[in-house]
Amino acid sequence: MFKRKPYFIVFEGIEGSGKSYQSSKLFKNLKKKGLDVLITREPGGTPNAEKIRKLILTDYFVKNKNKNFDKYTDTLLYLAARNEHVKNKIRPALKKKQIVICDRFVDSTISYQVYGKKVKKKFIENIHNEILGKLRPNLTFILKVNLKTSRSRLRKRKKKNRYDNFSNKFYQNAQKGFLYKKNNNKNYIIFDSSRNTPELEKKILEIVLKRFKAGMSK
């Protein structure tokens, strides 16, 4: 149906936005179309990156704040995991002309660490320049959600996440980061995912297939 070509798709949003759900749905729908597609996540995605993810998660369940990682140490761990992920999974997959779907990427780091934790943006950008080079997603879906729906979804989780206990103010700031100046960028598509409906799943698939078709004509 489509000529094989590398394509990098990312889903972003705060906790409880439905990004993991929609990324999984898109993966399954593209597989049904016979496309060579890979799904992955951050932090994690490779054995070494998953080890770092576990270290980050463990730290966030330490109740003594004096024993928690400093926010810059925390940020460096995320970036270390990304370096492993990009080098050993994302770049090789794109080189094989696969479609890569990633649950979280650069925008999550900026939104959570810069807007949420007030880490200096330049600090992150300098490291990204080294580990990413020119690598950028071809398409990013940002799923915005009202905080009431987000909290409701978090309460239903069987396995607790590191961010489950963060304040509403933190999430408000993080969501501002995801939405900041994205509306006029053709590589960003913003949807309200307060209701994860079949219509949203269908819209996402239609956009991706349309982009593939357009790319073939170039």
Average pLDDT by consecutive 10-residue portion of the chain (218 residues)? Answer: 84 90 96 96 97 85 73 96 98 97 97 95 98 96 83 67 71 89 87 84 96 70
Alpha-carbon gap, residue 23 to 181, rounded angstroms: 23
What was the pLDDT predicted at 61?
61
The per-residue DSSP string of the chain comes to ------EEEEEE-STTSSHHHHHHHHHHHHHHTT--EEEEESS-SSHHHHHHHHHHHHHTT-S-GGGSPPHHHHHHHHHHHHHHHIIIIIHHHHHTT-EEEEES-HHHHIIIIIIIT---HHHHHHHHHHHTTT---SEEEEEE--HHHHHHHHHT-SS--TTTT--HHHHHHHHHHHHTT-TT-TTEEEEE-SS--HHHHHHHHHHHHHHHHHHHT-
Does residue 57 form part of some domain?
A: yes
Does residue 158 form part of some domain?
A: yes
What was the pLDDT predicted at 39?
98
| CATH code at position 80 | 3.40.50.300
Written as one letter, the residue type at 63 is K
Written as one letter, the residue type at 142 is I
What was the pLDDT predicted at 165?
66
What was the pLDDT predicted at 101?
98
What was the pLDDT predicted at 52?
96
What was the pLDDT predicted at 159?
64
Give this prediction's pTM.
Answer: 0.90
Of 97, 96, 82, nearest to 40 by C-alpha is 82
Does residue 117 form part of some domain?
A: yes
CB 90 within 8 A of CB 105: no
Does residue 1 form part of some domain?
A: no
Written as one letter, the residue type at 134 is K
Q: What domain count does the chain have? A: 1
What was the pLDDT predicted at 76?
97
Beta carbons within 10 angstroms of residue 110's beta carbon: 21
What was the pLDDT predicted at 51?
96
Beta carbons within 10 angstroms of residue 30's beta carbon: 22
Does residue 2 form part of some domain?
A: no
Boundaries of domain holding 149: 7-216
Does residue 134 form part of some domain?
A: yes
Does residue 15 form part of some domain?
A: yes
Beta carbons within 10 angstroms of residue 34's beta carbon: 9
What was the pLDDT predicted at 62?
63
